[in-house]
Amino acid sequence: MRTQVGIVGAGPAGLLLGHLLHLAGIESVVLENRSRTHVEERIRAGLLEQGTVEVLTEAGVAERLHREAMVHEGLELRFDGQSHRIPLTGLTGKRVTIYGQQEVVKDLIAVRLGAGAPLLFEVDRVALHDLETDAPSISFVHEGIAQRLHCDVIAGCDGFHGICRDSIPAGVLRAYERVYPFAWLGILAAAPPASHELIYARHERGFALATMRSPTLSRLYIQCRPEEDLTQWSDDRIWAELHARLAHRDHGSPVKEGPILQRGVTTMRSFVVEPMRFGRLFLAGDAAHIVPPTGAKGMNLAIADIRVLAQALEAFYRGRGTALLEAYSGRALARVWKAQRFSWWMTSLLHRFDGDDLFEHKLRLAELDYVCNSAAGAMTLAENYVGLPLAPG
């Protein structure tokens, strides 16, 4: 097989890159080790920055998004039993959008298959070769047949546990990591959302978050231990903890109960590798960086990476040289580290750490009070939450 760009991974990053290249007349093949059903049904983050929505709109894959998504113009911080709204749109002129990552994936798969562009699911034994040459290749097995894909460039969009980053020789990448001493116990419930906007709560028992997937589906989280045993969490215990942590001092709990459809524990880490490139292999999204979910930056960072990479590849194939390819890692990492800083800040502000004493707790409450009652503090949160500007084209 022969193509111009080989893409490993059919998540939002790999699929969007394939689509943007298709629009530019550049050939690509997307390889995915999971089934189409698995990729389309795995539940992931669902908050899109305005810049992400604009990228998807310009790419022509946001028709259903604009029809079905829930647009938010603010968020609520709840601490010390009181609520404080941050008017995101009033402060920045921008909004955020609730639209599940799996829905973005469905839209991108549909448009790629509709265009007849190559997308292979359930690919096995993937390996990368000759990355330091101008003729790299990908070997794999599909439907029992061993194949090799020859290409000019490989895009590693296969996530944190994928093979692309591990294909880079030891000592080339610098890895930066922080593992947090807590996790999120998350549920998806067939119940109306607790509020029409997200509620982030700091409570003496730990963090809680009330968000949603639709007007009839709620997504709720509580801080827990990384080694939490889900068998010890009955439905009644989960709901009791959510009511306690999200309660308003005067109005009680806004949480609405319903059948729990899914539950799981999400560990928390910050991770970045530099550079995001080795030879003709370019890493994007979770293959290169992970953020704790508190700031809702994971998929948004992946989309931002892909926009930069697609611009660089288009310039390369239009005969404008390799300058943008050479600059890809630096351009992407400038935004990645700002998102890491914000995600770390939000996580530190809202969670209880092992060993925190009353002094630390009071400091966090004072900082939250400053954020909510200072124009500068509220603007800092708002402009980071709705998304910092994308790298110029």
Residues assigned a catalytic role: 72, 200, 293, 297, 385
Contact 29, 7 (CB under 8 A): yes
Q: Which residues does residue 84 pair with via DSSP β-bridges, in sequence order?
A: 77
Q: How far apart are CA 151 and CA 157, in angstroms?
A: 16
Burial class for 150, CB neighbours closer than 10 Å (0-12, 13-18, 19+):
middle
**Alpha-carbon span 131 to 153, nearest angstrom:** 9
Contact predicate 228/241, CB 8 Å = no
| Structure tokens that stand for 4 in this block | 């111009």
Bridge pairing between strands 137-142 and 145-150: antiparallel
Report whether 55 contacts 302 (CB < 8 A): no
Take residue 45 and report the two structure tokens written for it. Answer: 């983050």
Helix (H) or strand (E) holding 181: strand 174-189
Q: Which amino acid is at 279?
A: G
